[in-house]
Amino acid sequence: MKLGYQTNTWGGVVGHPAGVTSVKDLYYLANGSTEDALKDIAEAGYTGFEIFDGNLMQYKDKKDVFLKLMKDYSLTLIGVYTGGNFIFPDILEEELLKIENVAAFASELGAEHLVVGGGAVRTNGILESDYTALGDALNRVIEIAEKYNLIASYHPHLGTNVEGPEQLDKLMPLTRINLCPDTAHIEAGGGDPVAVIRKYVDRIKYVHLKDYENGEFVPLGEGHQKFAEMIKVLEEANYNGWITVELDSWPEPKQGANISRKYLTQFEKVNQA
């Protein structure tokens, strides 16, 4: 298993301001320095990183700058995180075009994974038909990913129509997409991360680890998540892919990365490089 870190801790989870009025700019965006993030991630001992689509696309016309950063810090671009509403037919094509632009650029930079969040919650609540619409849209995301030799995975998330385990169980039979479990979001949504990983391990090609304590996301080992059990399930399934630590926000991002990296040294099968 190889270890990566998400750059979103540097600046926290926000969104592209133009996305308010423009579907094509509906990007996730961390409001911090990508350059600082990569430097700190490398110094903390990780070998790869994941990045939000909005931060990646800031380099669309500066590809050489991004490639130099990766080379300077000996980091691999694991993947990019993107998403959409996915349940509104009038804007779906625009959302998919945005995702395709992101996937194409990520592929040029050597990415392996396309991670997708989303599934809107309507003002008056979720319709059962929303899960069918989401599943159909995610199948189209798979086609986009395959076009650019990327592995597509769905990431359940608070604030979407797939927060809890019952909602995830509704969605998964309706789509062929892989599952990228975010362990803390699963628990915050009322689920058991170990049980979810065990249930869907055959559809897991990529994993996000995040700890959880008193309703807050915290570095690994600072909460109560059962990572030893999760990693054991992955080992038994011969998982040998990336594990990315994701901490949506932390007062001192590099410190948070260091805490999680030190915690992970106890696991023999996790890359110690």
The tens place of each residue's pLDDT in the chain, 273 residues long, gives 899 999 999 999 888 998 889 999 999 999 999 999 999 999 999 999 999 999 999 999 999 999 999 999 999 999 999 999 999 999 999 999 999 999 999 999 999 999 999 999 999 999 999 999 999 999 999 999 999 999 999 999 999 999 999 999 999 999 999 999 999 999 999 999 999 999 999 999 999 999 999 999 999 999 999 999 999 999 999 999 999 999 999 999 999 999 999 999 998 777 654
Task: Sort residue 51 into left (φ over 0), alpha (ψ -120 to 50) or beta.
Answer: beta
CB-CB neighbours of 44 under 10 Å:
20
User: What are the phi and psi torsion angles at 257 (to 5°)?
Assistant: -65, -40
**pTM (global) more than 0.85:** yes
Q: Which 3 state secondary structure label does DSSP give 5?
A: strand
* Dist. CA 175–CA 116, nearest whole Å: 13
pLDDT at 268 (0 to 100): 76
- Asked if residues 98 and 24 have their Cβ atoms less than 8 Å apart, the reply is yes
Residue entry with tokens 């090609």: 205
